[in-house]
Structure 1
Protein backbone atom coordinates (compact mmCIF):
# COMPACT_ATOMS: atom_id res chain seq x y z
CA UNK A 1 0.00 0.00 0.00
CA UNK A 2 2.83 2.40 0.85
CA UNK A 3 4.48 1.68 -2.51
CA UNK A 4 1.29 2.47 -4.43
CA UNK A 5 0.81 5.74 -2.52
CA UNK A 6 4.46 6.71 -3.03
CA UNK A 7 4.18 5.91 -6.76
CA UNK A 8 1.01 8.01 -7.10
CA UNK A 9 2.64 10.99 -5.34
CA UNK A 10 5.76 10.70 -7.51
CA UNK A 11 3.71 10.65 -10.72
CA UNK A 12 1.67 13.65 -9.58
CA UNK A 13 4.82 15.63 -8.74
CA UNK A 14 6.40 14.68 -12.07
CA UNK A 15 3.27 15.84 -13.90
CA UNK A 16 3.34 19.26 -12.23
CA UNK A 17 7.05 19.64 -12.94
CA UNK A 18 6.62 18.78 -16.62
CA UNK A 19 3.70 21.22 -16.94
CA UNK A 20 5.65 24.05 -15.26
CA UNK A 21 8.61 23.52 -17.60
CA UNK A 22 6.50 23.66 -20.73
CA UNK A 23 4.74 26.91 -19.77
CA UNK A 24 7.89 28.91 -18.90
CA UNK A 25 9.43 29.03 -22.41
CA UNK A 26 6.10 30.12 -23.91
CA UNK A 27 5.95 33.06 -21.49
CA UNK A 28 9.57 34.01 -22.22
CA UNK A 29 8.93 33.97 -25.96
CA UNK A 30 6.05 36.46 -25.69
CA UNK A 31 6.93 39.69 -27.52
CA UNK A 32 6.39 43.03 -25.82
CA UNK A 33 3.13 44.61 -26.90
CA UNK A 34 3.66 48.27 -27.63
CA UNK A 35 6.97 50.08 -28.06
CA UNK A 36 10.13 48.78 -26.37
CA UNK A 37 13.58 50.40 -26.24
CA UNK A 38 16.64 48.14 -26.18
CA UNK A 39 20.13 49.65 -25.96
CA UNK A 40 23.31 48.11 -27.33
CA UNK A 41 24.95 49.33 -24.11
CA UNK A 42 23.49 51.12 -21.11
CA UNK A 43 26.76 52.32 -19.59
CA UNK A 44 29.76 53.92 -21.31
CA UNK A 45 33.03 54.02 -19.38
CA UNK A 46 35.09 56.90 -20.79
CA UNK A 47 38.12 56.06 -18.63
CA UNK A 48 39.76 59.29 -17.54
CA UNK A 49 39.71 62.80 -18.94
CA UNK A 50 41.57 65.96 -17.94
CA UNK A 51 39.42 68.55 -16.17
CA UNK A 52 37.82 70.75 -18.81
CA UNK A 53 37.80 67.98 -21.40
CA UNK A 54 34.71 67.01 -23.35
CA UNK A 55 33.39 63.45 -23.58
CA UNK A 56 31.07 62.57 -26.48
CA UNK A 57 29.36 59.22 -26.86
CA UNK A 58 26.47 57.89 -28.95
CA UNK A 59 24.14 55.33 -27.39
CA UNK A 60 22.42 53.22 -30.07
CA UNK A 61 19.02 51.69 -29.44
CA UNK A 62 16.45 49.59 -31.27
CA UNK A 63 12.68 49.52 -30.96
CA UNK A 64 12.11 45.84 -30.14
CA UNK A 65 8.38 46.33 -29.59
CA UNK A 66 5.34 46.19 -31.84
CA UNK A 67 4.43 49.89 -32.09
CA UNK A 68 6.37 53.11 -32.88
CA UNK A 69 8.65 54.37 -30.08
CA UNK A 70 8.60 58.09 -29.31
CA UNK A 71 11.18 59.72 -27.03
CA UNK A 72 9.52 62.71 -25.39
CA UNK A 73 12.38 63.98 -23.22
CA UNK A 74 15.76 63.10 -21.78
CA UNK A 75 16.49 64.23 -18.25
CA UNK A 76 20.09 64.62 -17.10
CA UNK A 77 21.63 64.37 -13.64
CA UNK A 78 23.63 67.59 -14.10
CA UNK A 79 23.79 70.61 -16.40
CA UNK A 80 27.26 69.48 -17.50
CA UNK A 81 25.65 66.78 -19.66
CA UNK A 82 23.58 67.56 -22.75
CA UNK A 83 21.71 65.04 -24.89
CA UNK A 84 20.72 65.03 -28.56
CA UNK A 85 18.32 62.32 -29.65
CA UNK A 86 16.18 60.94 -32.43
CA UNK A 87 13.04 63.08 -32.38
CA UNK A 88 11.04 61.20 -35.02
CA UNK A 89 9.05 58.09 -34.06
CA UNK A 90 11.16 54.92 -34.36
CA UNK A 91 9.23 52.14 -36.09
CA UNK A 92 9.31 48.57 -34.73
CA UNK A 93 12.58 46.90 -35.68
CA UNK A 94 14.26 50.23 -36.52
CA UNK A 95 17.08 52.00 -34.65
CA UNK A 96 17.80 55.43 -33.23
CA UNK A 97 20.52 57.23 -31.29
CA UNK A 98 21.10 59.35 -28.23
CA UNK A 99 24.27 61.45 -28.28
CA UNK A 100 25.56 62.46 -24.85
CA UNK A 101 28.01 65.35 -24.38
CA UNK A 102 29.73 65.71 -21.00
CA UNK A 103 31.73 68.86 -20.20
CA UNK A 104 34.11 68.10 -17.33
CA UNK A 105 34.88 71.76 -16.50
CA UNK A 106 34.59 72.22 -12.73
CA UNK A 107 34.37 68.47 -12.07
CA UNK A 108 36.89 66.25 -10.28
CA UNK A 109 37.10 62.58 -9.38
CA UNK A 110 34.79 59.73 -10.31
CA UNK A 111 31.73 60.73 -12.32
CA UNK A 112 28.44 58.97 -13.09
CA UNK A 113 26.28 61.05 -15.40
CA UNK A 114 22.83 59.52 -15.80
CA UNK A 115 20.47 60.25 -18.69
CA UNK A 116 16.82 59.31 -18.07
CA UNK A 117 14.98 58.51 -21.28
CA UNK A 118 11.28 59.39 -21.10
CA UNK A 119 9.31 57.65 -23.83
CA UNK A 120 6.13 55.79 -24.59
CA UNK A 121 7.92 52.44 -24.07
CA UNK A 122 5.72 49.83 -22.42
CA UNK A 123 8.32 49.32 -19.67
CA UNK A 124 8.41 53.04 -18.81
CA UNK A 125 11.46 55.25 -18.41
CA UNK A 126 14.96 53.83 -18.77
CA UNK A 127 18.46 55.13 -18.13
CA UNK A 128 21.92 55.15 -19.69
CA UNK A 129 25.06 56.57 -18.12
CA UNK A 130 28.52 57.94 -18.74
CA UNK A 131 31.06 56.90 -16.10
CA UNK A 132 34.72 57.71 -15.65
CA UNK A 133 37.20 59.85 -13.82
CA UNK A 134 38.02 63.54 -14.22
CA UNK A 135 41.63 64.29 -13.32
CA UNK A 136 43.28 67.63 -12.71
CA UNK A 137 44.53 69.15 -15.96
CA UNK A 138 48.27 68.61 -16.45
CA UNK A 139 48.61 65.75 -13.98
CA UNK A 140 49.92 63.21 -16.45
CA UNK A 141 53.30 61.65 -15.70
CA UNK A 142 54.93 63.51 -18.60
CA UNK A 143 53.57 66.84 -17.40
CA UNK A 144 54.78 66.18 -13.85
CA UNK A 145 58.23 65.27 -15.20
CA UNK A 146 58.39 68.45 -17.30
CA UNK A 147 57.36 70.58 -14.31
CA UNK A 148 60.05 68.96 -12.17
CA UNK A 149 62.67 69.58 -14.87
CA UNK A 150 61.68 73.27 -15.08
CA UNK A 151 62.00 73.68 -11.32
CA UNK A 152 65.41 71.96 -11.32
CA UNK A 153 66.73 74.32 -14.05
CA UNK A 154 65.76 77.46 -12.10
Structure 2
Protein backbone atom coordinates (compact mmCIF):
# COMPACT_ATOMS: atom_id res chain seq x y z
CA UNK A 1 0.00 0.00 0.00
CA UNK A 2 2.90 2.30 0.85
CA UNK A 3 4.43 1.60 -2.54
CA UNK A 4 1.20 2.57 -4.34
CA UNK A 5 0.90 5.84 -2.41
CA UNK A 6 4.59 6.58 -2.96
CA UNK A 7 4.24 5.78 -6.67
CA UNK A 8 1.16 8.00 -7.11
CA UNK A 9 2.81 10.83 -5.18
CA UNK A 10 5.88 10.62 -7.39
CA UNK A 11 3.72 10.59 -10.52
CA UNK A 12 1.77 13.66 -9.35
CA UNK A 13 5.00 15.47 -8.52
CA UNK A 14 6.36 14.74 -12.00
CA UNK A 15 3.18 15.98 -13.69
CA UNK A 16 3.09 19.20 -11.67
CA UNK A 17 6.78 20.02 -12.12
CA UNK A 18 6.92 19.10 -15.81
CA UNK A 19 4.43 21.86 -16.68
CA UNK A 20 6.64 24.63 -15.40
CA UNK A 21 7.07 26.21 -18.80
CA UNK A 22 6.86 29.98 -18.42
CA UNK A 23 3.29 30.96 -19.34
CA UNK A 24 4.28 34.59 -19.91
CA UNK A 25 6.35 33.49 -22.92
CA UNK A 26 3.19 32.17 -24.59
CA UNK A 27 1.36 35.53 -24.43
CA UNK A 28 1.47 37.53 -27.65
CA UNK A 29 1.82 41.28 -27.24
CA UNK A 30 -0.70 41.96 -30.01
CA UNK A 31 -3.38 40.05 -28.08
CA UNK A 32 -2.63 42.01 -24.90
CA UNK A 33 -2.94 45.30 -26.80
CA UNK A 34 -6.20 44.23 -28.46
CA UNK A 35 -7.67 43.12 -25.11
CA UNK A 36 -6.70 46.40 -23.44
CA UNK A 37 -8.33 48.39 -26.25
CA UNK A 38 -11.46 46.22 -26.11
CA UNK A 39 -11.73 46.68 -22.34
CA UNK A 40 -11.29 50.45 -22.62
CA UNK A 41 -14.04 50.65 -25.27
CA UNK A 42 -16.40 48.39 -23.31
CA UNK A 43 -17.18 51.25 -20.94
CA UNK A 44 -17.98 53.64 -23.80
CA UNK A 45 -21.63 53.78 -24.80
CA UNK A 46 -23.58 55.89 -27.25
CA UNK A 47 -26.12 58.26 -25.73
CA UNK A 48 -29.27 59.33 -27.50
CA UNK A 49 -30.56 62.85 -26.92
CA UNK A 50 -33.95 63.86 -28.35
CA UNK A 51 -35.00 67.36 -29.36
CA UNK A 52 -38.27 66.59 -27.52
CA UNK A 53 -39.49 63.60 -25.52
CA UNK A 54 -43.18 64.41 -25.90
CA UNK A 55 -45.25 65.86 -28.73
CA UNK A 56 -48.74 67.26 -28.21
CA UNK A 57 -50.96 67.30 -31.31
CA UNK A 58 -53.56 69.37 -29.43
CA UNK A 59 -57.19 68.84 -30.45
CA UNK A 60 -57.81 66.65 -33.48
CA UNK A 61 -60.95 65.25 -35.08
CA UNK A 62 -61.55 61.54 -34.61
CA UNK A 63 -60.11 59.60 -37.56
CA UNK A 64 -57.79 62.42 -38.64
CA UNK A 65 -54.23 61.19 -39.17
CA UNK A 66 -51.44 63.34 -37.81
CA UNK A 67 -47.68 62.96 -37.96
CA UNK A 68 -44.64 64.33 -36.16
CA UNK A 69 -40.88 63.87 -36.33
CA UNK A 70 -38.54 63.16 -33.44
CA UNK A 71 -34.96 64.31 -34.03
CA UNK A 72 -32.13 62.76 -32.04
CA UNK A 73 -28.38 63.07 -31.70
CA UNK A 74 -25.69 60.65 -30.58
CA UNK A 75 -24.00 62.49 -27.70
CA UNK A 76 -22.02 59.46 -26.53
CA UNK A 77 -18.59 58.05 -27.24
CA UNK A 78 -19.51 55.11 -29.49
CA UNK A 79 -21.60 54.57 -32.64
CA UNK A 80 -25.36 54.51 -31.98
CA UNK A 81 -27.40 51.69 -33.52
CA UNK A 82 -31.19 51.80 -33.27
CA UNK A 83 -32.40 48.23 -33.65
CA UNK A 84 -36.14 48.79 -33.27
CA UNK A 85 -38.83 51.38 -32.59
CA UNK A 86 -42.22 50.19 -31.36
CA UNK A 87 -45.38 51.94 -30.26
CA UNK A 88 -47.74 51.03 -27.47
CA UNK A 89 -50.55 50.25 -29.93
CA UNK A 90 -51.26 49.69 -33.61
CA UNK A 91 -52.80 53.14 -34.05
CA UNK A 92 -49.34 54.72 -33.78
CA UNK A 93 -46.74 53.84 -36.39
CA UNK A 94 -43.06 54.82 -36.08
CA UNK A 95 -41.20 54.81 -39.38
CA UNK A 96 -38.23 56.05 -41.43
CA UNK A 97 -35.35 55.55 -39.00
CA UNK A 98 -31.86 54.61 -40.10
CA UNK A 99 -30.62 51.17 -39.15
CA UNK A 100 -27.04 52.21 -39.95
CA UNK A 101 -24.66 53.13 -37.10
CA UNK A 102 -24.72 56.82 -36.17
CA UNK A 103 -21.26 58.14 -35.24
CA UNK A 104 -20.79 60.29 -32.12
CA UNK A 105 -22.03 63.82 -32.81
CA UNK A 106 -24.24 62.82 -35.76
CA UNK A 107 -28.01 63.29 -35.86
CA UNK A 108 -30.95 61.27 -37.10
CA UNK A 109 -34.74 61.31 -37.04
CA UNK A 110 -37.83 59.15 -37.24
CA UNK A 111 -41.47 59.98 -37.82
CA UNK A 112 -44.53 58.86 -35.89
CA UNK A 113 -47.96 58.70 -37.48
CA UNK A 114 -51.10 58.52 -35.34
CA UNK A 115 -54.40 57.55 -37.02
CA UNK A 116 -56.73 59.58 -34.78
CA UNK A 117 -58.52 56.65 -33.14
CA UNK A 118 -59.66 56.74 -29.55
CA UNK A 119 -61.55 59.39 -27.66
CA UNK A 120 -60.75 62.31 -25.38
CA UNK A 121 -57.19 62.51 -24.02
CA UNK A 122 -54.83 59.90 -25.44
CA UNK A 123 -51.17 59.30 -24.71
CA UNK A 124 -49.10 56.82 -26.70
CA UNK A 125 -45.55 55.74 -25.94
CA UNK A 126 -42.89 54.96 -28.50
CA UNK A 127 -40.01 52.78 -27.29
CA UNK A 128 -36.66 53.16 -29.04
CA UNK A 129 -34.40 50.12 -28.64
CA UNK A 130 -30.73 50.94 -29.13
CA UNK A 131 -27.25 49.99 -27.98
CA UNK A 132 -27.22 52.65 -25.26
CA UNK A 133 -26.27 51.76 -21.69
CA UNK A 134 -29.95 51.76 -20.69
CA UNK A 135 -31.03 49.82 -23.79
CA UNK A 136 -34.35 51.59 -24.38
CA UNK A 137 -35.56 55.17 -24.50
CA UNK A 138 -39.19 56.32 -24.47
CA UNK A 139 -40.84 59.26 -26.23
CA UNK A 140 -44.57 60.08 -26.18
CA UNK A 141 -47.28 61.62 -28.26
CA UNK A 142 -50.54 62.95 -26.93
CA UNK A 143 -53.70 64.53 -28.26
CA UNK A 144 -57.29 65.31 -27.42
CA UNK A 145 -59.45 63.37 -29.89
CA UNK A 146 -62.76 65.15 -30.46
CA UNK A 147 -65.72 62.91 -31.33
CA UNK A 148 -66.76 62.66 -34.96
CA UNK A 149 -69.54 65.26 -35.44
CA UNK A 150 -71.47 62.83 -37.67
CA UNK A 151 -71.80 60.30 -34.83
CA UNK A 152 -72.61 62.72 -32.01
CA UNK A 153 -76.14 62.15 -30.71
CA UNK A 154 -77.98 65.22 -29.41
TM-score tier after normalising by the smaller chain length: 0.5 to 0.7
TM-score (ref. length: structure 1) = 0.66
Q: Give distance in 2, aligned partners of 1:137 and 1:87.
A: 38
* Structure 1 residue 87: Cα displacement: 1.9
- Counterpart residue number, 1:102: 114
Q: Give distance in 1, aligned partners of 2:139 and 2:103.
A: 21
Is 2:123 the partner of 1:80? Answer: no
Secondary structure of 2:59's counterpart equals strand
Secondary structure of 2:132's counterpart equals coil
Q: Give distance in 1, aligned partners of 2:114 and 2:72.
A: 20
Q: Residue by residue, what CA displacement relative to the aligned partner does 1:95-129 show, whole Å, maximum 9, x if unpaired?
A: 01020000013x11111010000000123211001
Secondary structure of 1:111's counterpart equals strand
- Counterpart residue number, 1:120: 131
Q: Give distance in 1, aligned partners of 2:137 and 2:130.
A: 8
Secondary structure of 2:76's counterpart equals coil
Q: Give distance in 1, aligned partners of 2:74 and 2:100.
A: 12
* Structure 1 residue 75: Cα displacement: 1.7
Secondary structure of 1:123's counterpart equals coil
CA contact (8 A) 1:36 1:123 kept: no
- Choose which of 54, 64, 74 in structure 1 pairs with 2:65: 54
RMSD: 1.7
Higher radius of gyration, 1 or 2? 2
Q: Give distance in 2, aligned partners of 1:97 and 1:86.
A: 8
Alignment of 1:1-150 (within 5 A): 33-84=44-95, 85-105=97-117, 107-138=118-149
Structure 1, unmatched stretches of 5+, are 1-31, 145-154
* Structure 1 residue 89: Cα displacement: 1.2
